[in-house]
Structure 1
């Protein structure tokens, strides 16, 4: 009986250790530096992408620079459907649309809690083919002259690939 009790104790200790490891893993899984991702979809293809750059909103010199850029194949027949998570949509954010001639690029600022998804045509009659989109989280900063300006503290980027 003593041998059986020892064997059961060893099994219980091993199971408790495994359980503690799994429990710790589950409890700490979402506490890391997981950054928000955007997604873009067009004609059966989609891409999820993390930030190109992500700075602390209070200290714009404290940045993570993963330089992640998504790529999405597109054609002129189907628009791009861009989605942002609530973590982005609950703040003021800017959508940049970059065209073949970058001088024709445009931007739209969305107020907090107004948009989580945007449909973007891949061709604009005046601007030509869309070559990329970027999402920026904005913060107000004071420039050298004391004027307030919006500045991005985080950016996500998707390059559009044409056939």
Structure 2
């Protein structure tokens, strides 16, 4: 019996998060086509325990690293005020990892998002988001 050789189905890119001795690998919560349209909600956010002041190692697969991506976070400072952080744009085949660190040892991460840029740009010149990988942080 002969079977045709077809391409393997392409899966959505995955992102790995490591903190506090635990690793999780998640698929996107939202993923769109290359132009940033035809978006679909895909998977629920992941959950990771990260104590105050701890860093999170983030690793993306080659499909993401070849394009542009960034890390966005929300954390609570010592005064219990929520603040945000954003990494520089990463990727272009050069960045497969990023270390997310909060400014102070008492700061508590609340949420981490990895955003993949689409092939289109907004009127502001910023890239349109193609995909989002979300991790809700527990203490």
Q: TM-score range by the shorter chain?
A: 0.7 to 0.9
Q: 1:79: how far off?
A: 2.1
Q: CA RMSD in A?
A: 2.5
Task: Look up the match of 1:161.
Answer: 138
Mark the structure with the bigger radius of gyration: 1
1:83 correspondence with 2:83? no
- Where has structure 1 moved over 3 Å in runs of 4 or more? 27-30
**Structure 1-normalised TM-score?**
0.69
Describe the SS at the equivalent of 2:126: strand
User: RCO higher in 1 or 2 (8 Å CA, sep ≥ 6)?
Assistant: 2
Flag structure 1 segments of 5+ consecutive residues without an equivalent.
1-15
Flag structure 2 segments of 5+ consecutive residues without an equivalent.
none
1:137 correspondence with 2:116? yes
2: CA distance, partners of 1:44 / 1:97 = 20
2: CA distance, partners of 1:48 / 1:68 = 12
> Greater share of strand residues, 1 or 2?
2
Task: Look up the match of 2:29.
Answer: 52
Task: Look up the match of 1:3.
Answer: none
2: CA distance, partners of 1:45 / 1:88 = 22
Describe the SS at the equivalent of 2:11: coil
**Structure 2-normalised TM-score?**
0.80
> Greater share of helix residues, 1 or 2?
1
2: CA distance, partners of 1:51 / 1:87 = 13
Q: 1:40: how far off?
A: 0.6
2: CA distance, partners of 1:148 / 1:93 = 15
